[in-house]
Structure 1
Amino acid sequence: MRSARKVTVSPRATIREVLETIDQAAMQIALVVKEDRLVGTITDGDLRRAFLRGKSLDDFIDDIYNVSPVKGYLSQPKEDLLQMALAAGVKQVPMVDDQGLLVGVEVIDEYLRISEKPNTVVVMAGGLGTRLRPLTENTPKPLLKVGSRPILETIIRNFTQYGFRRIFLSLNYRGEQIQDYFGDGREFGARLHYLVENKRLGTAGALSLLPEKCEQPVIIMNGDLLTNVNFEHLVNYHNLSGASATMCVRDYELQVPYGVVHSDGATIKQIEEKPIHRYYVNAGIYVLSPEVLEKIPRDRYFDMPQLFQKLIDDGAKTCSFPVREYWMDIGQPADFEQANEEYAEVFGV
Structure 2
Amino acid sequence: MMKNWKVVAVSPDASMKETLAAIDKGAMQIALVVDGDDHLLGTVTDGDIRRALLRGETMETPTQKFMNTNPYTGLVDEDKEIWQRTMQRHSLRHLPLLDSTGRICGLVSYVPPAEPLRENPVVLMAGGLGTRLRPLTDAQPKPLLKIGEKPILETIIENFVTQGFYRFYICLNYKGDMIRGHFGDGRRWGAQITYIEERQRMGTAGALSLLPEPPDRPFFVMNGDLLTKVDFVRLLQFHQRNHAAATLCVREHTDTVPYGVVQLDGYEVKSLIEKPTQRYYVNAGIYVLDPEVVRRIPDGGYYDMPILINDLLRDERPIYSFPLREYWIDIGRMGDFEQAQTDYCAVWETP
- TM-score (ref. length: structure 1): 0.68
Q: Deviations 1:297-317 (Å, cap 9, x if unpaired)?
A: 110000000000000000100
Match of 1:341 in 2: 342
- Which of 200-209 and 263-272 deviates more? 263-272
Is 1:136 the counterpart of 2:137? The answer is yes
SS in 2 for 1:112: coil
Supply the AA of the counterpart residue of 1:327: W
Q: 1 CA distance for matches of 2:225 and 2:244?
A: 26
RMSD of equivalent CA atoms = 1.8
Aligned positions of 1:237-248 closer than 5 A: 237-248=238-249
Name stretches of at least 5 consecutive residues in structure 1 with no aligned partner: 1-84, 91-110
Supply the AA of the counterpart residue of 1:342: D
Is 1:307 the counterpart of 2:321? The answer is no
Q: Which has the larger radius of gyration?
A: 2
Cα 1:261–1:162 shift into 2, 3 Å? same
Cα 1:258–1:87 shift into 2, 3 Å? farther
Aligned positions of 1:180-191 closer than 5 A: 180-191=181-192
User: How far is 1:185 from its partner?
Assistant: 0.4
SS in 1 for 2:217: coil
Cα 1:134–1:240 shift into 2, 3 Å? same
User: How far is 1:188 from its partner?
Assistant: 1.2
Match of 2:120 in 1: 119
Q: 2 CA distance for matches of 1:137 and 1:336?
A: 15
Q: 1 CA distance for matches of 2:330 and 2:114?
A: 30
Match of 1:5 in 2: none
Match of 2:296 in 1: 295
Q: Deviations 1:20-57 (Å, cap 9, x if unpaired)?
A: xxxxxxxxxxxxxxxxxxxxxxxxxxxxxxxxxxxxxx
% identity of equivalent residues: 53
- Stretches of 4+ aligned residues off by more than 3 angstroms: 85-90
Q: 2 CA distance for matches of 1:193 and 1:127?
A: 18
Q: 1 CA distance for matches of 2:216 and 2:88?
A: 35
User: How far is 1:86 from its partner?
Assistant: 6.4
Q: 1 CA distance for matches of 2:174 and 2:230?
A: 27
Higher relative contact order (CA 8 A, sep 6+): 1
User: How far is 1:153 from its partner?
Assistant: 0.2
Match of 1:214 in 2: 215
Match of 2:224 in 1: 223
User: How far is 1:220 from its partner?
Assistant: 0.3
SS in 2 for 1:226: strand
Q: 2 CA distance for matches of 1:337 and 1:87?
A: 42
Match of 2:269 in 1: 268
Q: 1 CA distance for matches of 2:294 and 2:214?
A: 9
Q: Deviations 1:38-93 (Å, cap 9, x if unpaired)?
A: xxxxxxxxxxxxxxxxxxxxxxxxxxxxxxxxxxxxxxxxxxxxxxx969849xxx
User: How far is 1:265 from its partner?
Assistant: 2.7
Q: 2 CA distance for matches of 1:316 and 1:176?
A: 38
Q: Deviations 1:83-140 (Å, cap 9, x if unpaired)?
A: xx969849xxxxxxxxxxxxxxxxxxxx833111010100000000000000000100
Is 1:159 the counterpart of 2:160? The answer is yes
Q: 1 CA distance for matches of 2:237 and 2:346?
A: 27
Cα 1:277–1:208 shift into 2, 3 Å? same
SS in 2 for 1:346: helix
Supply the AA of the counterpart residue of 1:186: R
Q: Deviations 1:197-236 (Å, cap 9, x if unpaired)?
A: 0011110000011101211101000000011110000100
Match of 1:203 in 2: 204
Match of 2:329 in 1: 328
User: How far is 1:254 from its partner?
Assistant: 1.1
Match of 2:173 in 1: 172
